[in-house]
Amino acid sequence: MPPGLDRVVIFAEVSAVAAALLWWGRLPGPWRRALAVLTSGLGVLFLVGALRAEGHREAATMAVVVLGPAYVTEQASASASLPYYVLTGVCLLLGTAGLAVGDATARRLGSHWMATAVVLSLLVTATRFALDKAAAPPSWTRPIGVTWLPPIVGAFFALHAKKEGRGLRNVAWSLLAYGFAVRGAVALLNVLATTLGLGSHYDVSNLVYIKNPMSGHWHEFASGSFEQLFFLALLPQLVFWPIYTVATGMIGAFLALRLVPRELGPRVPVVGAGVGMAPAQPER
């Protein structure tokens, strides 16, 4: 596959799945139940794959510090069936929840669009951590990350704000709040994984010699030090990535507002529409 095209394909796939999950509460009941059954069926397929997998798998977990190159943080080793079991659990959890939630509850949940986006992003983060520890191959772990989500979340926010009569300024502030909520959780996971030696690409303790992508200079850090955590985890997660979230999220918001028909926005009632009016009577 040509360089760069793989990212386009991954983004398209991630966007389709994320859109289905974000708009899940707004879907008609039959569509939601069909999606839940499809997700559960996918979980069964992963379970079959787990039962057929044999031996052990080893995989290198990779981390990128802002715009720099990828660094190996851990050589994970696990049963070859474990990554399948992780995705089996995620799919069956989502499928069961989709079938258990009634129409009225789904509508109420769908109205909380900020909470929906944050919960989805936290689920993605937890799944990525589990797959890292399960030595899943890069083709599995690369699409599962919150970095892909801001454009589709921005579109999600924009369309809901439009229905509520709100503007793009509200969307931008919502994206900033979303970015800090999600990236704050990732930063906390970075701190816990690094200080407790939990491994995965969230554990930056092995990143002791890093090249600055802007200046080209190399920096050395003591493993597990506060300086290492500050510059490789806290500063990127709480400064750079929220800015990235707002910037790319607003691109998704603009595209959604341009491409989605205006009829999907808030409807302004026409004066007299739907009101039975008596015919005019001649004056006497």
Give the per-residue pLDDT at 3.
60
- 124 near 144, Cβ under 8 Å? yes
Give the per-residue pLDDT at 67.
63
**CB-based burial label for 245 (10 Å; 0-12, 13-18, 19+):** buried
Q: Which backbone phi and psi does 203 adopt, to 5 degrees? A: -90, 110
Q: What is the pLDDT of residues 3-34, one digit of tens each?
A: 678 889 999 999 999 999 999 888 898 999 99
Domain ranges of the chain: 7-262
pLDDT band of 2, cuts 50, 70, 90: low
- Give the separation between CA 46 and CA 141, rounded to whole angstroms: 15
Closest Cα partner for 156 from 122, 113, 121?
A: 113
**Range name among 54-63, 193-202, 229-238 with the lowest pLDDT average:** 54-63
Mean pLDDT of 58-81: 83
- Give the separation between CA 251 and CA 38, rounded to whole angstroms: 31
pLDDT band of 262, cuts 50, 70, 90: low
How many C-beta neighbours within 10 Å does residue 281 have?
6
Give the per-residue pLDDT at 105.
87
- 99 near 36, Cβ under 8 Å? yes
Give the per-residue pLDDT at 186.
97
Higher-confidence position of 74 and 122:
122
Structure token digits, residue 145: 């990350």
- Give the separation between CA 184 and CA 135, rounded to whole angstroms: 25
Radius of gyration of the chain (CA): 23
- 178 near 245, Cβ under 8 Å? yes
% of the chain exceeding 90 in pLDDT: 62
Q: What is the pLDDT of residues 77-94, one digit of tens each?
A: 899 999 999 999 999 999
Give the per-residue pLDDT at 103.
87
Q: Which backbone phi and psi does 88 adopt, to 5 degrees? A: -60, -45
